[in-house]
Amino acid sequence: MSNQPVSVTLLNRVQQRLRAASFARALHGWTLAGLILACATVLAVRLLGLLPETRQPLGWLLVFPAVAAVAAWLFHRRVEKSAAARAVDVHAKTDDLFLTLATLSSSAGEYQPLVEQSATRLAANIVPANVVPFKVERPIGMQASVLCVLALLIWLLPTLDPFGHVEAATKVDKAKKEVELIRKAIKTREEKLTQEVKTAEERDDKINEQMKELMASLRQMKPQEKKPNSKVLQDHRGSLNDMWKNVSSEELREMLSQSISDQQFGGQRTQKMNEWLKQLQQGNSQMLQQQLDSAKETMEAMLEAKTPEDRQKLASQLRRQLQDLKKFSSEKASSPELENALNQAMKALEALAAQKQNGEVMSEEEQQMAQEAAEALRESLQLSKTELQELARSAKEMKQLEEALKTMQQAEKLNSEGQLDGEQCEGCKSLAEYAEKYNQMMAGMGQDGQAKRDSPGAIQDEDDSDPEGYKDEKTKTQIQAGKVLLSIKTKEAATEKDFDPEELKKYESTVSEIKSGVQAAIENEQIPPGYVDGIKGYFDNLESKEPTK
């Protein structure tokens, strides 16, 4: 650049400024047009209700300036060196001197050195900024004005809905978000439930193993070995109690403790739920699973229905089926997990039933939402089935452990009376057979816990006969008149008159209060069944006995 003549440098700088000015003019025009088009678009979208506000992000407005910049670059006017020379001649009034200089390379003649000398002499006094000044105030003002109008339209112009498009699109968006939340919740619960199922299977194996060990120990019991028998039974009861606590929960205990005998005179729906509950309390969920399978078949038939009327009818049928299951889960099964899975199914069904039923062609977005809702409904029904299977498993395990603990209690009772003999149940193959055998043995014992007379191993009557002719003899007392050296009080039953009436009332009131809170305390502390009867019996005896001195 430093080796070029001043005249050539001037022409180059003027050419660059002309090019910049040409691009700026093009950019201004295209940008102004883009902003005006953006304003028109906002007006159309808001006033005609083409899109809901949730689908009107401000970012899409940046498309217009970006397109304007590309168009300005592609379509702005290119500036040649001759145009720069002409601009210099006009500004300096040099009668085409610089235009002649710009075309010297394509002309011949002896005057070329003279033109170069004249142009160099004049170029030293010409400033390029004066030749091509940049005037940006007016374009920037126009751009700012249109931009402010656009911002006001976005901020203040409300979205109208003359054709109902906004309402329809809003419903689709809301349903889509809800379905996404449903599927996310189902996936989270499925991952957690997979671990719970694995833990439950391991626990089930441990319970079965413990039952086998218990039956093996009962077969080895000897009537004369009370202390060793008691130690073995206590070890087994401790293990069973720990397992019972792992399985037990407040909801499960509430479900198993429900009585259905007082509800047999209800309607068909109530009787059906009672049958479900009775079966579930036994650890069987076959009828409930059949209900879920029936609901799934109804769902598939609804999806394949040809007419809107058939679709609505099947949707109503499916809704009733799910409502029955949900009511059972909340009122009978007391299972929050099962109830939540059915809630997800109900929500998915409502989202699926919200699709157009009037025969109109659904948009691609509505079809996609309907497919996702149908998939969410399938997943929620499958999750409900798994939750139900785990609930039945837990009920079966808890009932099995409670029966085992009751059998242990009978065995301890028999052992305390010296009646526990493993040989008497040599052919027993299950713990239920042991329980039945122990019930028969307990039935052969009196109310005082001793075996009835004239039964094998029972206590025989004493024989007071005197075959050897014993004689009654009495020694003369050595006690004479004087000081009392010893006073003996016998234990006799006290009567109410031996006590202060106020203290007696306090005592009776205290015992009644304690007894009334026994059941609540047992439930709050999660007392295993093996201890419940003993605790209740203690307080029953405490209230029934007369107070003694």
User: Considering 102, 128, 156, which residue would you say is the last residue of a domain?
Assistant: 156
User: Considering 407, 432, 457, which residue would you say is the last residue of a domain?
Assistant: 432
Residues 245 and 310 in one domain: yes
Q: What is the DSSP string of 431-456?
A: HHHHHHHHHHHHHTB-TTSSBPTTST
* Of 2, 5, 16, 18, nearest in space to 115 by CA: 5
Q: What is the mean pLDDT of residues 1-15?
A: 80
Q: What is the DSSP string of 186-205?
A: HHHHHHHHHHHHHHHHHHHH
Domain assignment present for 537: yes
Query: For the segment 291-344, what is each residue's pLDDT rounded down to a tens digit?
Result: 999 999 999 999 888 888 888 899 999 999 999 999 999 888 888 999 999 999
User: Considering 111, 134, 156, which residue would you say is the last residue of a domain?
Assistant: 156
Domain assignment present for 75: yes
Q: Of 55-59, 153-157, 405-409, which range is least confident?
A: 55-59
Residue 362, pLDDT above cutoff 80: no
Residues 21 and 100 in one domain: yes
Residue 195, pLDDT above cutoff 70: yes
Q: What is the largest CA-CA distance in the chain?
A: 180
Distance CA 419, CA 223 (A): 6
Domain assignment present for 38: yes
Residues 381 and 296 in one domain: yes
> In the structure, what pLDDT confidence band is assigned to residue 103 with cuts at 50, 70 and 90?
confident
Residues 172 and 138 in one domain: no
How many CB atoms sit inside 10 A of residue 10's CB? Answer: 26
> In the structure, what pLDDT confidence band is assigned to residue 430 with cuts at 50, 70 and 90?
confident
Total tally of structural domains belonging to the chain: 3
Residues 171 and 121 in one domain: no
Domain assignment present for 449: no
How many degrees, rounded to 5, is the angle at CA 524 between CA 519 and CA 528?
75
Residue 429 has a pLDDT of 83
- Are the C-beta atoms of 48 and 163 separated by less than 8 Å? yes
Residues 175 and 143 in one domain: no
How many degrees, rounded to 5, is the angle at CA 220 between CA 218 and CA 224?
100
Phi, psi of 305 (to 5 degrees): -65, 145
> How far, in Å, are 70, 213, 270, 389, 521 from residue 254 at the CA level?
72, 30, 18, 18, 15
Q: What is the mean pLDDT of the chain?
A: 80
How many CB atoms sit inside 10 A of residue 408's CB? Answer: 24
Query: For the segment 126-137, what is each residue's pLDDT rounded down to a tens digit?
Result: 898 888 998 888
CA dihedral for 536, 539, 543, 544, sign (positive or negative): positive
Residue 376, pLDDT above cutoff 90: yes
Domain of residue 181: give its range: 165-356+365-432
Please give the model's pTM, rounded to 2 decimal places. 0.62
Q: Of 40-44, 46-50, 299-303, which range is least confident?
A: 46-50
Q: Residue type at 528?
A: P
Residues 210 and 106 in one domain: no
Q: Of 23-32, 110-119, 414-423, 495-504, which range is least confident?
A: 495-504
Query: For the segment 220-231, what is each residue's pLDDT rounded down to a tens digit?
Result: 888 888 899 999
Residues 129 and 184 in one domain: no
Residues 138 and 16 in one domain: yes
Q: Which of 371-375, 460-464, 541-545 has the highest mean pLDDT?
A: 371-375
Residue 391 has a pLDDT of 93
Residue 422, pLDDT above cutoff 60: yes
Q: What is the mean pLDDT of residues 253-272?
A: 74
Q: What is the mean pLDDT of residues 354-378?
A: 75
Phi, psi of 47 (to 5 degrees): -80, -35
Q: Residue type at 496?
A: E
Alpha-helix runs per DSSP H in 49-96: 63-75, 81-92
Residues 254 and 339 in one domain: yes
Residues 205 and 339 in one domain: yes
- Are the C-beta atoms of 178 and 200 separated by less than 8 Å? no
Domain assignment present for 446: no
What share of the chain has pLDDT > 70, as a percent? 76
Domain assignment present for 407: yes
Residue 456, pLDDT above cutoff 50: no
- Are the C-beta atoms of 332 and 255 separated by less than 8 Å? yes
Distance CA 548, CA 493 (A): 6
Residue 341 in tokens = 């899975």
Residue 149, pLDDT above cutoff 80: yes
How many degrees, rounded to 5, is the angle at CA 47 between CA 46 and CA 48?
100
Distance CA 370, CA 375 (A): 9
> In the structure, what pLDDT confidence band is assigned to residue 359 with cuts at 50, 70 and 90?
very low
Residue 543 has a pLDDT of 53
Helices 529-544 + 364-416 axis angle, to 10: 60
Domain assignment present for 411: yes
Residues 421 and 502 in one domain: no
Distance CA 260, CA 274 (A): 6
Distance CA 408, CA 438 (A): 10
Domain assignment present for 88: yes
Residue 289 has a pLDDT of 92
pLDDT greater at residue 301 or residue 534:
301
